[in-house]
Structures are given as C-alpha cells and as structure tokens.
Amino acid sequence: MQLTGAQALIRSLEMEGVEVMFGLPGGAILPVYDPIIDSPIRHILVRHEQGAGHMAEGYAHATGRPGVAIVTSGPAATNIVTPLCDAYMDSIPMVVITGQVPSTAIGTDAFQECDTVGITRSVTKHNELVMNAQDLPRIVREAFHIATTGRPGPVLVDVPKDVAQATMDWYWPESVDLPGYRPTTKGHPRMIKEAARLILASRRPVIYAGGGILKARAAEALRELAELTDIHVVTTLMARGAFPDDHRLCLGMPGMHGSYTAVTAMQEADLLIALGSRFDDRVTGKVDAFAPDAKVIHVDIDPAEQGKVRKPDVPIVGDCRLVIEELVREIRALLDGGTEQADTSAWRSRVSGWRENYPLTYEPSREGDALKPQFVLEQLRDNTPSDTILVSGVGQHQMWSSQYWRFNEPYTWVNSGGLGTMGFSVPAAIGAKVGRPDRMVWAVDGDGCFQMTAQELVTASTERIPVKVAILNNAYLGMVRQWQEMFYDERYSEVYLSPDLPDYVKWAEAMGCVGLRVEAPEEVLPAIEKANEIDDRPVVIDFRTDAREKVFPMVPAGRSNDDIVLPPAQREGAER
C-alpha cells in the first residue's frame, strides 16, 4: 500500500497506541496536519508550542505513557526547546515531531529554517532528521522505544516538508534493532548480594528514593523493602508519592527545603540506599559535607549516574523495580539463613525525636493578617479527594505544595524538578487531566509563573478540560524575593509584580474559565468547595497571600546540610 510520508507518520503514531497529541500547525508541518483529520488520534490545539510540550509532559507524568507533541519548523521548534530540556532533566518519556523546510532548502537559511536537530541535541535522549519517507515507520518505532526504555527521556523526529509529501510503501517493523542501545535492566547478582549484606549490617540506614522509583513502577517493591527491613524512606521532590506520606517509615522530602528529619537523618546515616535518585545538588547541599559517615548503595538504570556526584560503595545498574525485587529476595534468604539484622532501635528513636521536635510548621495568621499560603494548601489538601493530582509551578508555592500535601499514591504529583521551569503548571495540569480525566486535577501556581503560560487555559476551555488552578498571589517573584531578603540584605531588585494587574478573575473569565477571588481565611474553604463542584470548565482562584512568608526549613545554596535553617519558632534549642 502506498502512503505519503505524512500518512505513514500518522499511521505509525496510531500503531504506537497514541491516543492524543498536543500541537499547533504551520507551513512546514502542513502535509502532516492533513491526515490528522482522518485519524482517531485526538489532537489538542495549543496556543503556544511551549504549552504543547508541557502538556505532553503532564500527560506522561500522570499516565506513565509517552506524551506526544507536534509542531512546525523554526520558531515552533525553538518554542518547544524548554519542555524538551525539562523532560530531559526529569527523565520524562516524550516524542516530539517537528516540521522542517524541504530537504533541498536545508542549509540555505530558508524561511523558518532552523537547525532543530543541532539545537536540541543536548536536551534530547535521541533526535533524528528524516531524509527519506520510507524510513518513517522505523524511525517512529525507534523513537517510542528509546523514549520509554532504559532511562526515559524526550526524543525528537524532524520531518522535512518534501519527505512528508513523498510517497512510500507502507510497512510496520515488527521489532526494533538498535545494536548500540541495550539498557541494562537486571542488576548484577554479586552487587545485589553485597547490598543485602550491607543493609542488614547497618545501624543507621536511610532509603533515599528518587524519581526513578516512579519511572520504574517500583513503588510497591519499595514499600516491601522498607517494611521488610524497617528502614525509613525519604522521597525526593521527584519521588513524592512513591512512598506514602502517611506511612510510619516515611520521612518526607530531603534537600534544600526538605523536612528537618529527612535532611538530618541522611546527614547522620551510616548507609544511604539510593534508589533511582541522582544526588542532585538541591539534595546534597555542599557535596563534600554530605552524609559524611554513610556508605552508599546506588541503584540506577543509567550507568552515567554511578559516581557522577558521589562515589558509591555498591553501584548497581538496573531497573529499580527488578533490582529492589531481587534485593528483597536476597535479604529474605539471608534472614532465613540465620543472618541477623543489626540493632537499629537507637537510630529509630533518634529519628522519632527529630520528628517530634521539628515538625513542619508556620505561624498561622492572626485576625486581620494576610492569608498564609501554607493554610491555603492545608485547606486544599483536606478538601479534595485523596487521589487528586497536584501540579505545581516553580517557586515558593512549589515547595509549600510538596511540603504540605500528603502524597499517598504514586503519580499524583506533577512538577518540574530538574529544570525548575516557571510556566510549567497550567499546561502540565491540562496534559495530566487529559491523561486522567477520572481524577480531579489542581494546579497550584505562583502569580509570576501563571503569567508565563496562562493562555493555555483558552485551550483548556475550548477543549473542555476542567482543570482547577489555585494562584498563590503574593504579588512577587516570591522565591527570588526570599533570597534577596535573606542573602542580599532585603534589597529587592526587580521582583515586585502587582496583586491587581492583571486582574486574574477577569483574565480567567476572558479565557472561558470561572474566576474567583479569596482574600481572607474564612473565604478559602467555600471557594475550594465551589471550584470542586465545577466540572464543565476550568476554574481559577486568585488567593491573595502574604508576601512576607518564607519557605522553611532551608539549606542555603552551596552550604552543608548541617547548616539547615529552621523556621523562627523552632530555632531556639535546635539539636545541631
């Protein structure tokens, strides 16, 4: 059967099981947009290509399936570079199709030509310029294979206009043959044995769980390991939900804005069991001073992560789920064989002491004070279904979201961790809701972030995707303001926005959403309840919050985790 390259491309996406793609057409990709009309794949027309990329990411976060975006050449391709980089940093499976000028015009500075493959080389797991229509099915098949196996990531396929228009003989490759690409999934048995012995011998162990747990669908295996060994678990910003916050062994988030207990337990540990985590600088603080007494077991699917930041005592390359399952078997065998686990009772009682003395806390607002952002989050948390998907932007509101929510299920937390992309939340929430229409999806956004991609709410209204957005409107680029207050002597340079301009309620209404405004604590709950009831269009709530509020605890950038700064009320009498 003869098809055009464009038809073959769309057919290949169908063969890959793609149900939805996010995009915006233009000259170079025009031939590919034509067969979309006849395809069962749902196409969601975005208002900016950055939105398409983040929607694809949100979809992938919430479903585990690859997100797909399709855009034209030149400025469209450069507009999607930020989401590509974001997906690359957070290991999100995504396939992006870009149009390209006709192959004969490449290199002539033709209208809307850009070297997309060159520009995106360092922010994609793989990218490819298609030069022959006959190659399209194979290249698409490989793109999905690469995006979703090993360490997941974004793959870009660049399709010149004449390649899309040319004819080809349709086929579908039965298998993928990439000789240079063979991710190691099974951990080395000797290393796993060694890890099991170390775990049972440790007196102060901590499991340091990262986003890799979620990518590997390893949440259940993690729980089994933690319960079998009675070892506490910290969940990084990317791993929130991988281990239930309500579990007695959960210590919450480590790192720059982590809980005192999580940060301190890692610092004092004699063994860190790092599972799908990458020793990010936001977790380690000053690397030389990080967990000085700890031996390290490091499990990661990506061999490049081994020893990148901290030299492991036991490196294990493999899929987190498979490796943890093996570890559990090995530990059981040792225990059955008479090996005893070292006594961890003194350690457990120290951990409970930290927990009791240094819980997460903030000063509630007094009569007539501005709304506290943490209070808004507590109210949201307590008045939404427990399986609600929470999506955040980047800044103070992101840290409060991670701190004050209770994540008890995997895949309920969607955020931009590695790149820290302002403008992520509105489009990512839309993508998450498209992937999980059965779930309630709330975006918690900053006023600064919201202004970067809010126009995608037009997309949400048009496509009837009823996401809910809580803007924590402190009239500042809050996180930057916090740094200027603490480290630049309160010299506030270029961080003031405005509480009223734009008028968020009117803006929301203009985009087809319901807009609500909340200024006082007693208005918070009624607004949330009202928003929860609306299911036929997006809702935006403008919460006017206290600009002076800061995120605590905090480890100042580049400092040791020993220098953690507690909230003012806890500073007297801190143990370390």
Ligand X SMILES: Cc1ncc(C[n+]2csc(CCOP(=O)(O)OP(=O)(O)O)c2C)c(N)n1
Query: Which residues form the interface with ligand X (CB under 6 A)?
Result: 393-397, 420-422, 446-449, 472, 474, 476-480
**What's the closest the beta carbon of residue 352 comes to ligand X, in angstroms?**
32
Three-state SS for 128-141 is EECCCHHHHHHHHH
Distance CA(460)–CA(466), nearest Å, equals 7
**Active-site residue, from 22, 57, 142, 161:** 161
Strands 314-317 and 295-300: parallel
Return the number of the residue (163 or 454) whose C-beta is nearest ligand X: 454
Please choose, from the candidates 133, 154, 331, 155, the residue with its C-alpha nearest in 3D space to the C-alpha of residue 231: 331
Return the number of the residue (326 or 445) whose C-beta is nearest ligand X: 445
| C-alpha separations of 441 from 43, 411, 451 in Å | 20, 12, 20
**What's the closest the beta carbon of residue 265 comes to ligand X, in angstroms?**
27
Distance CA(229)–CA(203), nearest Å, equals 11
Please choose, from the candidates 75, 72, 80, 68, the residue with its C-alpha nearest in 3D space to the C-alpha of residue 33: 72
**What's the closest the beta carbon of residue 180 comes to ligand X, in angstroms?**
34
Distance CA(388)–CA(426), nearest Å, equals 16
423's CB contacts (< 8 A; 6+ apart) are: 50, 54, 393, 449, 452, 453
**Active-site residue, from 49, 57, 113, 330:** 49
Residue 450 annotated as catalytic: no
Strands 232-235 and 205-209: parallel
Residue 519 annotated as catalytic: no
What is the C-alpha radius of gyration for the chain, rounded to an integer number of angstroms? 25
Distance CA(265)–CA(294), nearest Å, equals 11
Backbone φ and ψ for 232, nearest 5 degrees, come out as -65, 155
Distance CA(164)–CA(356), nearest Å, equals 63
**What's the closest the beta carbon of residue 390 comes to ligand X, in angstroms?**
15
**What's the closest the beta carbon of residue 547 comes to ligand X, in angstroms?**
8
Three-state SS for 141-152 is HHHHHHHHCCCC
Residue ranges of the alpha helices (H) in 310-423?
Answer: 320-336, 345-357, 373-382, 396-404
Return the number of the residue (212 or 478) whose C-beta is nearest ligand X: 478
Are the C-beta atoms of 314 and 306 separated by less than 8 Å?
Answer: no
Return the number of the residue (75 or 353) whose C-beta is nearest ligand X: 75
**Active-site residue, from 14, 111, 506, 529:** 111
Residue 267 annotated as catalytic: no
Distance CA(116)–CA(26), nearest Å, equals 15
Return the number of the residue (173 or 420) whose C-beta is nearest ligand X: 420
- Please state whether the peptide bond connecting residue 553 to the residue before it is cis, i.e. omega within 30 degrees of 0: yes
Distance CA(287)–CA(561), nearest Å, equals 9
**What's the closest the beta carbon of residue 206 comes to ligand X, in angstroms?**
29
Distance CA(74)–CA(101), nearest Å, equals 9
**What's the closest the beta carbon of residue 393 comes to ligand X, in angstroms?**
5
Return the number of the residue (70 or 554) whose C-beta is nearest ligand X: 554
**What's the closest the beta carbon of residue 449 comes to ligand X, in angstroms?**
4
**Active-site residue, from 55, 238, 479, 511:** 479
**Active-site residue, from 15, 19, 112, 409:** 112
Return the number of the residue (81 or 449) whose C-beta is nearest ligand X: 449
Return the number of the residue (216 or 394) whose C-beta is nearest ligand X: 394
**What's the closest the beta carbon of residue 286 comes to ligand X, in angstroms?**
21
Return the number of the residue (152 or 448) whose C-beta is nearest ligand X: 448
Residue ranges of the alpha helices (H) in 47-188?
Answer: 49-63, 75-79, 81-89, 116-120, 136-148, 161-165
The residue with tokens 């036929």 is 536
* Residue positions annotated with a catalytic role: 49, 111-112, 161, 479
